[in-house]
Chains A and B, each alone.
Chain A
Amino acid sequence: MPLIFLWAFIIGGLLCVVAQLTLDLFPLTPAHILVLFVVIGAILGGVGLYGKLVAVAGAGASVPLTGFGYTLVTGVGEAVKTKGVLGLLTGGLTAAAGGIKAAVLFGLAASLVFKPKV
């Protein structure tokens, strides 16, 4: 099992290297990277490749931006199985709800400790 930590480190790091090189070599902004990587993750998830990467690297693949795209697509797939066509609309955000809610909560917590309006 400890091997997954090594793979998380390697795969997660490689994804960041690719993002860094994209930022350095092309006239793109971090916002472009954000959209590009989520979309790439969704596509790779959709064709079944990203799931294999997550199985090997765990958080090393699920935490980076591409992992978010993968989560959205996986969620849609599962929701379609149980809810039918409606799942196309509800599945993505349901699967990502944990991450989104955590971002809002931690944002709120940080705003209580620090001065948010300057």
Chain B
Amino acid sequence: MAVIRLGPSTYQFENIRILAAAAVGGPKEGQGPLGAYFDSIWSSELKDHASFEVAERHLLLEAQDLAVKKSAVPWESIDMVMGGDLLDQLASTNFAGREHQRPLLGLFAACAVFTEALGLGAMAIAGGGPRNVLAAAASHHMAAERQFRFPIELGYQRAPTAAWTATAAGACLVSGSDAVTGEGGVSVESVTFGRVVDWGSKDPNDMGTAMAPAAYDTICRHFEDTGRSIEDYDQIYTGDLGVFGVRLLSALAQKDGKHWDERLDDCGRALYAIDKQDVHNGGSGAGCSASVFSGFIYNRLLKKDLQRVLLVATGALFSPTTYQQGESIPSIAHAVSVRRL
């Protein structure tokens, strides 16, 4: 285990692995094209829980517990839990901590929190700190609606560029245990932490446009620091730019003479059947990239469909208050490079 600083924002690791991953989704996510990749699909948005917020917490707990069980590492050996969600005061992450009783680092980077946790976890392990870190993120459609678009009962029209917050959670158990060696696993190779990018976009119903420049910035700096190009990756998955955001990211690259189209995909776009499920721009939410990675992408890596993937989760860092005060939407993207061993 070691951590090497490749550049101002990129760190490379040796022998850091994802031992197990688990994804839990709501009914709409189960009906989507990636439904089969989820470990558990809820039959309803509430699943007998008293409120949407309690439901989100249990989505997270279920994903965390499934990931730990699949890894065969006992809960007591989880040295650190990292992650976040979209609710005020990180309610889901913190209240889940009340149940699992492991050391907890709650993080906030809006929908980019999963890669922040994954990268930070890998870095902590590689630095010789914790041995096992559980990185997780969750979101619930109705809880997020209440957080950002209250009152939900108003049922206002969604703009064509609006994203659909996913009811989903994903968790990965990252480990640096030297006992685990050999082929067949998935390693966390490197992380590029993003900086806050704000091109002045003000429309909270079009977060793809606000976040695409942040994704572009982080991907470019990742390539610069690692000396790689898009050809080194089978696929780059951005987290939640959606249909319009990916198009914009592709156009930004095109402007600089880079052709990214073929290898560029997006977790929010992949999660739903865009034309059939009435999700407009596609999925979003902290649980979107977390579950798409922990379910779909991780399994494709295991099945050898993919060799190396760059996961670039993106987050819009506005709050309902800053939006109401007329501020633009600052965004961030954290990129984690994962590879099948």
Complex formed: what's the CA distance from A29 to B324 in Å? 11
Complex formed: what's the CA distance from A52 to B202 in Å? 39
Please pick, from B154, B157, B202, the residue contacting A23 in the complex, using a CB distance under 8 A. B157
Please pick, from A27, A30, A117, A118, the residue contacting B154 in the complex, using a CB distance under 8 A. A30
Chain A residues, CB < 8 A from B51: 117-118
Flag B19-62 by CB within 8 Å of A: 1 or 0 each. 00000000000000000000000000010001110000000000
Chain A residues, CB < 8 A from B46: 118
Q: SS class of chain A's interface: helix, strand, loop or mixed? A: loop
Chain A residues, CB < 8 A from B14: none
Contact B156 A27 (CB under 8 A): no
Contact B52 A118 (CB under 8 A): yes
CB nearest to B155 among chain A residues:
A30
Complex formed: what's the CA distance from A27 to B323 in Å? 12
Please pick, from A30, A117, A118, the residue contacting B156 in the complex, using a CB distance under 8 A. A30
Chain B residues, CB < 8 A from A117: 51
Is B234 in the interface zone, CB < 8 Å from A? no
Interface size class of B (residues with CB under 8 A): 10 to 19
Is B203 in the interface zone, CB < 8 Å from A? yes
CB nearest to A24 among chain B residues:
B159
For window 131-188 of B, CB contacts with A under 8 Å fall at 142, 154, 156-157
Complex formed: what's the CA distance from A30 to B149 in Å? 11
For window 28-81 of A, CB contacts with B under 8 Å fall at 29-30
Interface centre among A29, A30, A117, A118 (most CB of B within 10 A): A118
Q: Given A117-B51, A118-B46, A118-B52, are A27 and B203 neighbors across the interface (CB < 8 Å)?
A: yes
Chain B residues, CB < 8 A from A118: 46, 50-52, 142
Contact A27 B202 (CB under 8 A): yes
Complex formed: what's the CA distance from A118 to B51 in Å? 4
Please pick, from B50, B157, B203, the residue contacting A30 in the complex, using a CB distance under 8 A. B157
How many whole Å from A93's CB to the nearest CB in chain B?
A: 22
How many whole Å from A64's CB to the nearest CB in chain B?
A: 16
Complex formed: what's the CA distance from A118 to B203 in Å? 28
Chain B residues, CB < 8 A from A27: 202-203
Complex formed: what's the CA distance from A30 to B142 in Å? 19
Complex formed: what's the CA distance from A29 to B157 in Å? 10
For window 62-118 of A, CB contacts with B under 8 Å fall at 117-118
Chain A residues, CB < 8 A from B202: 27
Complex formed: what's the CA distance from A118 to B46 in Å? 9
Chain B residues, CB < 8 A from A29: 156
How many whole Å from B153's CB to the nearest CB in chain A?
A: 9
Chain A residues, CB < 8 A from B157: 23, 30
CB nearest to B204 among chain A residues:
A29
How many whole Å from B317's CB to the nearest CB in chain A?
A: 19
How many whole Å from A27's CB to the nearest CB in chain B?
A: 6
Complex formed: what's the CA distance from A6 to B156 in Å? 27
CB nearest to B203 among chain A residues:
A27
Complex formed: what's the CA distance from A118 to B202 in Å? 31
CB nearest to B45 among chain A residues:
A118
Complex formed: what's the CA distance from A29 to B50 in Å? 30
Interface centre among B50, B51, B156 (most CB of A within 10 A): B156
Complex formed: what's the CA distance from A29 to B151 in Å? 13
Complex formed: what's the CA distance from A11 to B316 in Å? 41
How many whole Å from B244's CB to the nearest CB in chain A?
A: 15
Complex formed: what's the CA distance from A76 to B281 in Å? 46
CB nearest to B323 among chain A residues:
A29
Complex formed: what's the CA distance from A23 to B205 in Å? 12
Q: Which 9 A-B pairs have the closest CB atoms?
A: A30-B156, A118-B51, A27-B203, A118-B52, A27-B202, A30-B154, A118-B46, A23-B157, A30-B157
In addition to A118-B50, A118-B51, 7 A-B residue pairs with Cβ atoms within 8 Å of each other are: A27-B202, A29-B156, A30-B154, A30-B156, A30-B157, A117-B51, A118-B142
| 5 CB < 8 A contacts A-B | A27-B202, A30-B157, A117-B51, A118-B51, A118-B52
